[in-house]
Structure 1
Amino acid sequence: MAVVKSVSKAVRLIAGAAAMALVLVGLTATDAAAQRQRTIVGERYVPTIWVDPDGCQHWVIDNGIEGYMTPNRTPDGRPVCQRTNACLTMSTDTLFATGSHNLRPGAQARLSQFFSTNGSTAFVVYGHTDPRGGFQYNMNLSENRARTVANVAIASGGRVAAVRGFGPMHPVASNSTAAGMAQNRRVEVMCVQ
Structure 2
Amino acid sequence: MTDPGRIAPGLPCVTLGARVERVNCAGLRAAFVAAALWPALSAGPLLAEVAPPVIGADRYKPALAQTPDGCQVWMIDDGWEGYAWNRTDRRGKPVCMKVESCLVENTDQLFATDSARVRPAEAARLKAFFRQQGVFSYGIHGHTDARASDDYNMRLSQRRADAVARVALDAGARVASARGFGERMPVATNTTAAGMQKNRRVEITCYREIGRY
Q: Is TM-score (shorter-chain normalized) higher than 0.5?
A: yes
The more displaced of 137-146 and 110-119 is: 110-119
Distance 1:143 1:190 in 2: 16
Deviations 1:97-135 (A, max 9, x none): 111110123111110111123541211111111122221
For residues 126 and 167 of structure 1, what CA distance do their matches in structure 2 show?
10
Question: 2:144, 2:67 → 1: CA distance?
Answer: 22
1:104-143 aligned within 5 A: 104-143=119-158
Q: Tell me: CA distance 1:85–1:105, structure 2 relative to 1, closer, same or farther (3 Å).
A: same
Q: Which deviations, in whole Å up to 9, do the C-alpha atoms of 1:26-82 show, x marking residues without a partner?
A: xxxxxxxxxxxxxxxxx9534223223431234432112343446667899986431
Q: Distance in 2 between matches of 1:98 and 1:169?
A: 19
Q: 1:175 and 1:71 mapped to 2: Cα distance? A: 43
Structure 1 stretches lacking a partner, 5+ long: 1-42
In 2: Cα distance, 1:125 partner to 1:142 partner: 11
Number of the residue aligned with 1:84: 99
1:172 equivalent to 2:187? Answer: yes
Which structure has the bigger radius of gyration?
A: 1
Does 2:145 align with 1:145? Answer: no
- 1:180 Cα deviation from its structure 2 partner: 0.8
Measure how far apart 1:86 and its partner are. Answer: 0.9
**Any gaps of 5 or more consecutive residues in structure 2?**
1-57, 209-213
Q: SS of 2:97's equivalent?
A: coil
Structure 1 residues 1-193: aligned runs within 5 Å = 44-69=59-84, 80-193=95-208
Is this contact kept in 2: 1:53–1:162, CA < 8 A? no
More helix by share: 1
Supply the distance in 1 between the matched residues of 2:163 and 2:120 (Cα, whole angstroms).
Answer: 14
Instruction: Name the aligned partner's letter for residue 188 of structure 1.
Output: E
| Residue 84 to residue 138, structure 1, CA distance change in 2 (3 Å) | same
Alignment: residue pair count: 151
8 Å contact kept, 1:52–1:162: no
